Amino acid sequence: MSLSTIIHAGMRQYERPPLALVLMGGGARTAYQVGVLRALATLLQSHPGVSRSFPFQILVGTSAGAINAAFLAGRAREGLQAFEELAAFWGRLRSIDVYRLNTRRWLRFSRVALALELSRYIQLRGALLDNTPLAELLRQGISLGNIESALRSKTIDALAVTGSSYTSGVHWTFCQTASRETFQPWTSPGRRAEFQPLTIAHLMASSAIPFLFPATALTVEGREEYFGDGSMRQITPLSPAMHLGAQKILVIGVGQPERSGLAAALLGTHGRGPSLGSMAGHVMASVFHDTLQADVEQTRRVAETINGLPQEAVTAMRYKAINVLVMAPTQSLDALALQYTDELPATIQDALGALGMLRGGGGALASYLLFEQDFVQSLMAMGELDATARAAELIELITGP
């Protein structure tokens, strides 16, 4: 993230400093975010003197985090109840509601034949899975009209989702605010922002996990381009929130803690090296790698540098450091997913098994596809525990010291 972005964000003056919620991507793993937010709502409801209105003015989402952000924006006028409704939405999810894989049943008895069939399927569609069910789920679950109402009523100031263009290689942020005229787009090397009323296609594009889900066409700058998951090439996840005016930011990622505890599972037996499953999991972890720490560290260094200037200069700049709080899982999601891989749909187990992707660390790959209730509820419970452990920090971020 550029220094000018951080400095300009800190020099804006607001009577009420805007609070942003940034939700990172990670497929089924983003159920963790739901647990954090549900716990946050409980904390706010039990805290004396705190408003029951929706606490975030700016919502930024990537991949499945974009779906969560859009869902909340559509229900922001319901206040803290929006978080409980998001939990109920995830509580009804199943893998068959998100994707499907249609293969002939007899192929499951021949891994070679199944692998060949899948290869042809991928070449035809450009992806392993059909995510048409997800589009229907989003049409039923996300109220696009209510997003516009929340913006016009000033319940929220902005909603933004990100996508990565396969056509141009540019990482785009699509922003919806109450007025196109007041929106100020930004351009950086490899990154662009544009005002666009968000649609289901934007959410499908942002959440199109490479190789697993097909690309989605969107129109940018008057031309059609094909987009995949917004986590790809996302090098400055805090930048959109700052460009949109945030002075306080809560970021919820689903990045993997240190993986040393899974070393034996990730490597093949008898020193044969990593299996296809562990390599696939590593690739997915690279796609969804949270680059938050670099942004957070740079933001802190800018604040320290400016505050180290002579007091007269600091006063003249009227700079106020951007307050960033990062929430992320304290336990391994790969290890958790290993307990539930048997709950994947049979066709998916057969397909991934035929491709050798469930052996040796297959839980890493499965964790992005396990939209099944035991795994989802475990993730939400983890999020609630992590948020409760940091209750004081969360309350202070929202209400002030």
Averaged in consecutive runs of 10 residues, what is the pLDDT profile of the chain (401 residues)?
55 69 94 98 88 94 97 97 97 94 57 60 75 96 95 96 95 94 89 95 95 93 93 86 92 72 47 60 62 72 73 65 89 88 83 63 78 96 98 92 68
Q: What pLDDT shows up at residue 11?
A: 52
CA distance 134 to 131: 5
Q: Taking Cα atoms as reference points, which of 283, 287, 264, 260 lies closest to residue 361? A: 264
* Active-site residue (options: 157, 165, 229, 275): 229
For residue 142, how many other CB atoms are within 10 A of its CB? 20
Q: What is the pLDDT of residue 106?
A: 45
- 74, burial (CB in 10 Å: exposed 0-12, middle 13-18, buried 19+): buried
Helix (H, G, I), strand (E, B) or coil at 358: coil
Q: Is 334 a catalytic residue?
A: no
Cα distances from 200 to residues 46, 136, 149, 263, 312, in angstroms, run 35, 9, 17, 39, 50
Q: What is the 3-state secondary structure (H, E, C) of 156-196?
A: CCEEEEEEEECCCCCEEEEEEECCCCCCCCCEECCEEEEEC
Q: Taking CA 343 as the corner, what is the angle to CA 370 and CA 277, rounded to the nearest 5 degrees?
A: 65
Angle in degrees, CA 342, 89, 209, rounded to 5: 60
Task: Supply the pLDDT for residue 296.
Answer: 74
User: Does residue 46 have an active-site annotation?
Assistant: no
What letter does residue 309 receive in the DSSP assignment? S
Q: Rounded to an integer, what distance in angstroms lies between the CA atom of residue 89 and that of residue 82?
A: 10
R_g over Cα of the chain: 21
pLDDT at 58: 97
Per-residue pLDDT, 359: 59
Q: Which two three-digit tokens encode residue 145?
A: 């009209």
The confidence score (pLDDT) of residue 123 equals: 64
What DSSP element (H or E) covers 19? strand 19-23
Choosing from 63, 231, 239, 278, the catalytic residue is 63
Query: Sign of the CA dihedral 211, 217, 218, 224?
Result: positive
Instruction: Give the separation between CA 132 and CA 161, rounded to whole angstroms.
Output: 20
Count of residues for the chain? 401
Distance CA 193, CA 354 (A): 41
